[in-house]
Amino acid sequence: MTPFGTTRDGETVHRIVLSGGGLTVGLLTLGAIVQSVRLEGVEHDLTIGSTDLADYETSMGYHGAIVGPVANRLRQAQAPIGGVMHHFDANQDGTHALHGGKDGTHAKLWTVADHGPVHATLTLDLAAGDGGYPGNRHIRATFRLLPDATLQLEITGTTDAPTLMNLANHSYWTLDGGPTWAGHDIRVAADHYLPIDDAVLPTGEIALVEGTPFDLRRTVSISPGNPAVDHNFCLSVSKQSLRDVLWLNGSSGVSMTVATTEPGVQVFDGRPGYRALAIEAQGWPDAPNVAAFPSVEVTPDVPYSQTTQWRFSTG
């Protein structure tokens, strides 16, 4: 573990390097950021990162971070918890809440609880009222390198009062190392997706992918803007056992398989630059405000847990 930089508030951010199983991964204590993913035999990085801490405090605020405590969007920056309406930081257009607000988990300094050559555990405590959310919360994220070039992330969260929790890793992936992700193809194991409005919030409809540009059930070649995508793909209506849900292939021969326990995965095309694809295993966005969506409420008796894996190969 080595110093990486100093935040605007004067806090030291450290970098941790994991190496094993064909991967070398750089992590930052700011936001539990995945800063670098290198695959043995491949000359370029597979994720978008920076060596300058200032980038993560400005234009790259979500890149590689664990976003939350509620990832994605909450309409009107509010949601009911236990039948009581709560209000949050309206950091999207002054109207909606995005990724837990401007001071969400991505912007906080996490504590290194344990680390070794192939694993690191980072923790974060959120006091009741932080971000508008009730409950004193403890979040624990363990990154681990497994055989066959696999990066695994396990996240758990506990609370002493009912609250909302929907955490997601917000890494941007580009498997070819080019200026954009053009040339990739993708497959997503989802029969449904969530249409969105102009604010990128779900309309409430759970739509079939069949007959739409979002039918990715078979491998499809995609190009920037075709289709324009910043949507949740509905993998299931509840958390499941760990299973493969998304396959991304670059024209260079590098491939990535994503497995998760989560009921949804957000795919964002990275516009306007289309430099990389954000792929976020998550609960469905705006779930507390849409009765038909799977709940993201947690309680002292029903804690939060997620496991997601990224498995890489060279064909």
When pLDDT is cut at 50, 70 and 90, the band that residue 315 belongs to is confident
> For residues 166 and 304, what is the distance between their CA atoms, to the nearest angstrom?
8
Per-residue model confidence (pLDDT) at position 153? 99
> For residues 28 and 7, what is the distance between their CA atoms, to the nearest angstrom?
12
Which helix (H) or strand (E) covers residue 85, if one does?
strand 84-87
- pLDDT digits over 302-312, tens only? 999 999 999 99
68's tokens? 């939350």
Structural domains in the chain plus CATH codes: 2-313 (2.70.98.10)
Per-residue model confidence (pLDDT) at position 69? 98
For residue 132, pLDDT beyond 80? yes
Find, among 8, 48, 18, the residue nearest to 152 by Cα. Answer: 18
- pLDDT digits over 216-274, tens only? 999 999 999 999 999 999 999 999 999 999 999 999 999 999 999 999 999 999 999 99
What integer is the mean pLDDT of 127-138? 98
Kindly report whether the peptide bond that precedes residue 227 is cis, defined as omega within 30 degrees of 0: yes
Q: Are 275 and 281 in contact (CB under 8 A)?
A: no
Judged by DSSP in three states, 77 sits in: helix
DSSP string, 127-164: -TTGGG--S-EEEEEEEEEETTTEEEEEEEEEESS-EE
- pLDDT digits over 155-178, tens only? 999 999 999 999 999 999 999 999
For residue 148, pLDDT beyond 80? yes
pTM metric for this prediction: 0.97
> For residues 312 and 146, what is the distance between their CA atoms, to the nearest angstrom?
11
- pLDDT digits over 71-109, tens only? 999 999 999 999 999 999 999 999 999 999 999 999 999
Q: Are 182 and 223 in contact (CB under 8 A)?
A: yes
In whole angstroms, how far apart are CA 181 and each of 37, 81, 227, 253, 271?
16, 39, 13, 13, 11
230's tokens? 């910043």
Find, among 27, 3, 105, 95, the residue nearest to 61 by Cα. Answer: 105
- pLDDT digits over 29-85, tens only? 999 999 999 999 999 999 999 999 999 999 999 999 999 999 999 999 999 999 999
